[in-house]
Amino acid sequence: MTREGELIVRLPWDGRQVHGPMVSSTRPLVAPRMFADRSPAQVIAMVPLLFSICGGAQRAAASAALAAAGAQDIAPSAADERGVVLETVQEYFWRVLIDWPQAVGRQTYATPVASVRHRIAAAARDRNGTPAFANDARMHELGTELSRIAATSIYARDPAEWLKIVDVAGLKEWARRETTLPAILTHDLLAETAGLGRSGVALMPNAAEALLETVAPAMEEPEFARAPTWNGAPMETGALSRMCSEPLVAALDALHGHAIVTRMTARLVELARLLEGLAGGRASGGPIPAIHSATLSPGAGFAAVQTARGVLLHRARLSESKVEDYGIVAPTEWNFHPHGALIEGLEKLEADDEVLLARRARLAVQALDPCVACKIEIGHA
């Protein structure tokens, strides 16, 4: 029942540089009619089946949007918030220990990822009839366990200690000294291609009020979800947009711009922040609430959920307790917009052989993390 499709990135290459890269998508949009005349409960049950990636976030977004629209007997909870955070944590372990090394042809490190998945799945099961995600003590215990795994496999120290690195010199020293896979990969990026994938596309503001004022009304347009814009301009969403005020990320951004190394470091920073929050018992896990919802008008609700890939948006309108209209905008549609962050980052990408070009392009794609498969096609300009 999944509706995934793929992205196709085409790179016209003259043997030295890329000129005029393009991205297209076979990813089908979920038509409003798919949910029309269904009950809110039916929609909430369907959404995770349609989207195999970030299914928990999709379900949470549907619940929040429909509750805001006035659906009865639906109320997002702290357990939903923590479920979204834990899904993001799980995704980030996968990204930094499997997808990132895979993109550059290095051996992956799957053992910690499997351990994290096992622990989160165990926490999702009820204990004595109480959902584990709603239990502060259990979340503290889980956060401590996950932090311990991250300390040995990613940061080479407690994640909270790693967050004390606040400048580029400190990051370089960490990357040079430590032997964890992310440290090695960060060292390679800083040493060889620090400006790779740089884009001038603006970062999406994190204020929920701005989304409500600018994006929620635009979601009424049927084609908005295919190539969303913010006041007519593409935006970048994800770890970089959320972590851009963190000192280390801000320092990298000032030096290298919205580049691959800045995005990858922002992912490491956000993972450390989320683990710190879980271990400290905070419901949201991090500095930005994972779920925000609002009533737009009687019968209409909006939800923004912060996922590993960026902000996920749902908009619902009810009539006589049934869904009349529904819209979804996923992070992939923002970051892989035809004029978005990926395409800007690939323009004039340099490589003197096709293998190197493909590897750099894969890394640029991975740094923006699509929720579907991505095929790279190189043509000779």
Pseudo-torsion of CA 347, 352, 357, 359, nearest 10°? Answer: -140
Residue 286: pLDDT over 70 = no
- Residue 75: its pLDDT value, please? 78
Give 367's DSSP letter: H
How does the average pLDDT of the chain come out, rounded? 91
Mean pLDDT, residues 137-161: 94
Residue 1: pLDDT band by 50, 70, 90 thresholds?
very low
> What count of other Cβ atoms lies within 10 Å of the Cβ of residue 107?
8
- Residue 170: its pLDDT value, please? 98
- Phi, psi at 336, each rounded to 5°: -115, 30
Out of 6-15, 20-29, 62-71, 337-346, least confident range: 20-29
CA distances 343 to 10, 261, 348, 368, Å, are: 10, 17, 10, 11
Helices (H), 31-157: 32-35, 40-50, 55-68, 78-94, 100-103, 111-124, 136-150
Residue 274: pLDDT over 50 = yes
More confident residue, 228 or 2: 228
- Residue 137: its pLDDT value, please? 81
Residue 373: pLDDT over 80 = yes
Out of 29-33, 38-42, 64-68, 325-329, least confident range: 29-33
- Residue 324: its pLDDT value, please? 94
Q: Sheet of 322-329: strands edge to edge?
A: 291-297, 300-307, 310-319, 322-329
Predicted confidence (pLDDT) per residue in 181-236, tens digit: 999 999 999 997 778 999 999 999 988 888 989 999 999 887 898 899 999 999 99
Predicted confidence (pLDDT) per residue in 88-147, tens digit: 999 999 999 999 999 999 999 999 999 999 999 988 776 555 556 767 788 889 999 999
Pairing state of beta strands 322-329 and 291-297?
Answer: unpaired
Q: What is the pTM of this model?
A: 0.94
- In degrees, rounded to 5, the angle at the alpha carbon of residue 10 between the alpha carbons of residues 188 and 232 is 95
What is the residue extent of each domain of the chain? 6-380
Q: Which CATH number fits domain 6-380: 1.20.1440.60, 1.10.645.10, 3.30.70.20, 1.20.1300.10?
A: 1.10.645.10
- Residue 48: its pLDDT value, please? 86
Residue 21: pLDDT over 70 = yes
> What count of other Cβ atoms lies within 10 Å of the Cβ of residue 82?
29
Return the closest-CA partner of residue 62 out of 54, 298, 319, 214: 54
- Residue 90: its pLDDT value, please? 96
- Residue 180: its pLDDT value, please? 98
Q: What is the largest CA-CA distance in the chain?
A: 64
